[in-house]
Chain A
Amino acid sequence: MPINYYPKLAFESIRKNKQLYIPYLITCILMVSIYYILSSLIESPAIKSIYGADIIITILSLGLWVIIFLAVLILFYSNSFLIRRRKKEFGLYSILGLSQLNIVYIQFFESLFIALTSLIVGIGLGILFSKLFEIGLLNTINGSINYDFTVSVNSIVLTIILFIGIFFLLFLNSIWQVNTTSINQLLRGESHGEKPPKSNWFVALLGLASLVTGYYIAVTIESPLEAFTSFFVAVLFVIFGTYLVLISGSVLFCRILQRNKKFYYKLNHFISVSSLVYRMKRNGAGLASICILSTTVLVILCTTVCLFIGSEDALNLRYPKDENLRINFKSVENLSKDNLNQVKHYIDNLVHEYKTPVLEPFSYAETSFLAVEDGSNIDFNSKVFEEMTVNESNNILTVTLVGLDEYNQLTNQSKTLNQDEVLIHNLRSNFKSKTITINGIQSFKVKEIVTDMFNSVDQYANMMPTITIIVPNLIKTTLSLNLVQSENTNFSYNYSFNVNFNSERQVKFNKEINKALDNSNFRSQTGIIYSIGESKEENRQSFLMLYGGLYYLGLILSVIFIFTTVIIMYFKQISEGFEDQKRFEMMQKIGLTKSEIKKIINSQMLTVFFIPLILAVLNLMFAFPVIQKLLLIFNFNNNFLFLLTTLGCIFIFSCFYVLVYKITSNEYYKIVS
C-alpha cells in the first residue's frame, strides 16, 4: 500500500466515527488548554509581581498535578472505549488483507492526527483564554490588572512535552489492544454472549461495611487535628465502599428484586431490572467514578467558596484589631498590674505621637503551656514533645490560664470562684471532667464549662486543641504550679487595638511599634523577652492570596471534574445505546409499543443516572461535619454560611447534572430508535 494512503485512511475512519471522535477530541483539547492555562498562570509575570504570590503559585502547582492525573485517567478511559467500538473495523481491515503493521500505521496516523489537532487547537485556545483566567484570578485576589498580552513559551513547551507523552502512551495502548485480539474476535466486536453477573454477597457486604466504616470515622472525628489524618482514611474507605457497592451491591439488589416474583413479573420492572443487572456490572465502575467525581466537585466547591466568602471573618478572628501585640515576659511576676500598665502606657504613647487616640483597646494577661491530656489530668512535664508516640501527640493541647477578673471584664459577666475552683473553655478540644489536675499535684474543681470566650489572638494562630482555664488569680495559681518560662511555657500580655490610620500607615506603624518594643533598655526594665506586633492590614493580602487562590483553583478543578463526569456519562450512554439497539428492536416485534419502550428506557436511565448523584450527596452529608472541623483550622467557624454554601453547591451541581442527563439521554434515544 502506498504510504500516503495511510493518512487518508486514518482521516476517513475518524470522520466516519465522528459520533465517537468529536467528544474525544473535545476532551483532548480541553485537557490541553486547561493545562496550558494553569501552567501559564504559574508563569504569569503579573501574578508573580504581587506580594505573597508564592502561596498562589504553590496552590496552582498542586492543581497542575491533579490535572495531569485527571487527564491521563480520562484520556485512557475514553480511548479504550473508542478502541472497543472500532475493533470490528480493524477486523475487517485484516480480512481485506492488511497486515498487522499496516494497521499499526493506520493507528499511528490516527493518533498523530488527534495529537496534532488537540495540541494546536488546545494551546491556541489556551493562549486565547489564559489572559481571561489571569484577569479573573487577579480580580479575586485584588491584584492590579494589566492588559499586556503574554504568551508563555515555557508553558507551551511543557504542555507539548507532557501531552505528546500521553498521546504516545495512548497509541501504544491501542496497538496492544488491537494486536492481542484475534481477527475472529475483532470481527465479533463486543457482541459475544456475556455471562450473567453473579450476585456476590461477600463483596457487596464488604462494600457496605467499608462505606459504613468511612461514614462512622467521619462522624466520630472530634478534633480538627484528628480530622486531618482520619478524614483521609475515611475518604479511602468511602471510595472503596462506593466502588464495591455500585459494582456488586447493585447486582445483588437487582437479584433480590428478581426473586420477588410478584414485583419482578410486571412490565415496567421486568425489562428494567433484568437489563439493569447487566448494566450495573458493566457500568458500576463508571457510575462509581461519576459518584466519586461528583462528591469531589461538591466538596471542593463548597469548601473553597465558603473559605473565600468567609476570608474576612477568618482575618478578623485571627487579627481582631488593627494592631495586635503579644509580649512574653521572663516570669509570671512581670504580669503584675503595675508592670503591664507601664508597657501599655509605652505603646499608647507611640500611637499618641500621631495625634490620634487608641481605639477600642483590648488587653489581658495569660500563662500558656503545652501539655498532654490524660483524662482529667493535664501533664506538662511528662516528656520531651519531640519524643512522643503518635497516640500521645494526638493528646497534646495548649493550656491557657486566664485571671477571673479579666475574664469577667472582657466577656461582660460576673462569675465568682472559690480558691479551688476553675472555669474551663474548650476550643477544638473536648474536656468534660468534673475535676482538673495539673501536673499531678494541683487539683481544681471544675465549676463550669463555659462557652463564652473573648477573642484571644493566640488561640486562632495555631490549630491545636486549646483549653482555657479561668483561675481565681492568675499570678498566684501560676506560681503554685512552679511553671518556668521555656519554649513551651509563656507568660504573656496580649494587647490589641484599632487605630485611625489608613492601611499604608498601619503597615508602617506596625514596623515602628515592633522596633520600639525591641528596645533593650525597655526590655530589661519591664522583663520582656520577646514581643511581636501583627498588623491586620499587612496580613489581609496574604489571606486573600491563600483563600482567593484556593477558591480560584477550586473553581477550575470543579469545571474539569464536571467535564470529566460529562465525558464518562456521554460514553456510557453511547455504548449502552449500541448495546440496547437490537434488544429494543426485538421487543417491538413482539408487541411493545414505542411509548412503552420510551417509558422503560426513561425509568432505567433515571435510576442509573441518579444513583451516583444521590450517593454523592449522601457522601457529602457525612463529610459535612468533618469539613466543618477542617475549616476550623482555617479559622472558619460560620456554620450557617457553610450550610448555605453547601446547599447552594448541591443545588447548582444538581441542575447541571440534570442538564447533562437530558443531553446525553437524547444521544441514547437517537441510537436506540
Chain B
Amino acid sequence: MSLLNVQGLKKTYLSRFGTNKVEALKDINFKIDPDEFVAIMGESGSGKTTLLNLIATLDKPTSGQILLNGHNLSHLNNKELSKFRRDNLGFIFQDFNLLDTFTVEDNILLPLVLRGESYAEMQMKLEIITSQLNLIDLLKKYPYEISGGQKQKVAVARALITNPKLILADEPTGALDSKSSDELLELFRIINKDGQTLLMVTHSIKAASMANRILFIKDGKIFHQIHRGNDSDQELYKKISDTLIMLSKGN
C-alpha cells in the first residue's frame, strides 16, 4: 500500500474581492510508497508550495483528496489535523523556523513536548538523534549562535525525533551555502536509506538529483516524472536539467 495517495487534487484561490479565480492546482494525482525519496520541481508559481501546504494539512483542497497512510485528511477537523500533523509529519523549512527563545536542545524536543511525552523518553530519543546527526556539542547553544547549515541540521533532528511517517521539506537548501547544502542532502540520503520517507520541494537540480523520483509541476499539473532507476547522480542530474529545458520551452 502506498503511504501517500493524492487523487484529483484541485486548489482554487479567490482574489481578494472574490472576482478573479486563480487555479493553483488543477488535477494532481500521484502516490508515494514507503521508503521513497521524492522531489517535486517546478518554477516559482507552478503550485509546488500549494501542494506541499495541502499535504502538510496547513491548507484545505478545493476538491480531490489526500490519503496519508490510509487516512483521508479532508475528513479531519482542525483539532484532529493538528494531532495528525504532530504524530505523522515532520517539517523542514527553507528558513529553518527554529524558535530563538529555545536552546538547540529545546528546539529539538519541542515536538515531543507537544505530544506530552515524559522527560526520560525525550532524553533517550534526543541522545539517539543527536549522536546520529553529530549535534551533541550544539545542544546548549541558541539558534543565533550557530551557522545556517547547523540550524538546518537541528531542524532535521526536530523533524526526525518523532519518527514521522513522512518528512516534508520545503526548499531545505534554499538558504544554505553549497557545502552545507551537500552535507544536508547527504544526510537526507542517509536517513532515507534508514527507511525514512521524504517529500522535498525544490528549485535546485542538485538537490533533486538526490531523490529516487522527481515530479515536475507546471501550471498546476504534474507534467512529467523521472525515476532514478539505476542512474548515478550525474546521469540523473543531466536528465533533470534536460527536462527543465524542455519544460521551459513549453513542450
Contact = CB atoms under 8 A, between A and B. Distances in A.
Interface in B138-171: 142-145, 158
A590 B101 contact: no
A590 B110 contact: yes
A267 interface: yes
Nearest to B80: A593
Contacts of B86: 590-592
Contacts of B122: 265
A595 B79 contact: yes
B227 interface: no
Contacts of B87: 591
Contact of A274 (B102, B111, B112, B143): B102
B184 interface: no
A594 B78 contact: yes
A589 B143 contact: no
Interface string B78-91: 11001101110101
Nearest to A597: B82
B58 A270 contact: no
B99 A583 contact: yes
Nearest to B57: A591
A83 to B, nearest CB: 23
B178 interface: no
Given A262-B119, A274-B106, A194 B100 contact: yes
Given A275-B101, A595-B79, A590 B85 contact: yes
Contacts of B89: 591
A592 B82 contact: yes
By secondary structure, the A interface counts as helix
B150 to A, nearest CB: 14
B78 A593 contact: yes
A586 B114 contact: no
A591 B83 contact: yes
Nearest to B111: A590
B99 A270 contact: no
Given A193-B143, A586-B97, A586-B99, A267 B82 contact: no
Interface residues of B, number: 33
B56 interface: yes
Contacts of B103: 196
Contacts of B56: 589
Contacts of A266: 113, 116
Nearest to A265: B119
Nearest to B99: A583
Interface string B94-131: 00010111110010011111101001001000000000
Nearest to B142: A196
Contact of B85 (A261, A583, A591): A591
Nearest to A262: B119
Contact of B114 (A261, A278, A590, A594): A590
Interface residues of A, number: 26
B170 to A, nearest CB: 10
A193 to B, nearest CB: 3
A277 interface: yes
A4 to B, nearest CB: 33
Contacts of A593: 78-79, 82-83
A438 to B, nearest CB: 70
B113 A265 contact: yes
Interface in A575-610: 583, 586-596
Nearest to A595: B79
A195 B143 CA distance: 10
Nearest to A191: B100
Contacts of A587: 99, 110
Contacts of A592: 82, 86, 114
Nearest to B91: A589
A265 B124 CA distance: 14
A589 B94 CA distance: 13
A592 B110 CA distance: 10
Given A278-B101, A583-B99, A591 B82 contact: yes
B101 A274 contact: yes
A594 B87 CA distance: 17
A660 to B, nearest CB: 26
B108 to A, nearest CB: 12
A274 B142 CA distance: 12
Given A196-B142, A265-B122, A589 B82 contact: no
Contacts of A262: 119
A265 B110 CA distance: 9
A264 B176 CA distance: 33
Given A265-B109, A591-B85, A193 B114 contact: no
Nearest to B109: A265
Contact of B101 (A583, A588, A596): A583
Interface in A555-586: 583, 586
Given A586-B97, A589-B97, A270 B106 contact: yes
A173 to B, nearest CB: 29
Contacts of A583: 99, 101
A111 to B, nearest CB: 34
A269 to B, nearest CB: 9
A549 B116 CA distance: 60
Interface in B58-92: 58, 78-79, 82-83, 85-87, 89, 91
Contacts of B85: 589-591
Contacts of A278: 101
A569 B22 CA distance: 43
Contacts of B114: 267, 590-592
Contacts of B101: 196, 274-275, 277-278, 583
Nearest to A274: B101
Contacts of B102: 274
A261 B113 CA distance: 11
Q: Which has the most chain B C-beta neighbours within 10 Å: A262, A265, A278, A596?
A: A265
Contact of B113 (A195, A267, A588, A595): A267
Nearest to A275: B101
A196 B145 CA distance: 10
A193 B145 CA distance: 9
A267 B91 contact: no
A261 B102 CA distance: 14
Given A195-B144, A267-B116, A278-B101, 17 more contacts: A193-B100, A193-B142, A193-B143, A194-B144, A261-B119, A267-B114, A270-B113, A275-B101, A277-B101, A583-B99, A586-B99, A589-B56, A590-B86, A590-B114, A591-B86, A593-B78, A593-B83
7 contacts: A195-B144, A196-B103, A265-B112, A589-B85, A591-B89, A591-B114, A592-B114
Interface of B: 56, 58, 78-79, 82-83, 85-87, 89, 91, 93, 97, 99-103, 106, 109-114, 116, 119, 122, 142-145, 158
- Give the 4 A-B residue pairs with the shortest CB-CB distance, closest first: A193-B144, A591-B86, A591-B85, A593-B82
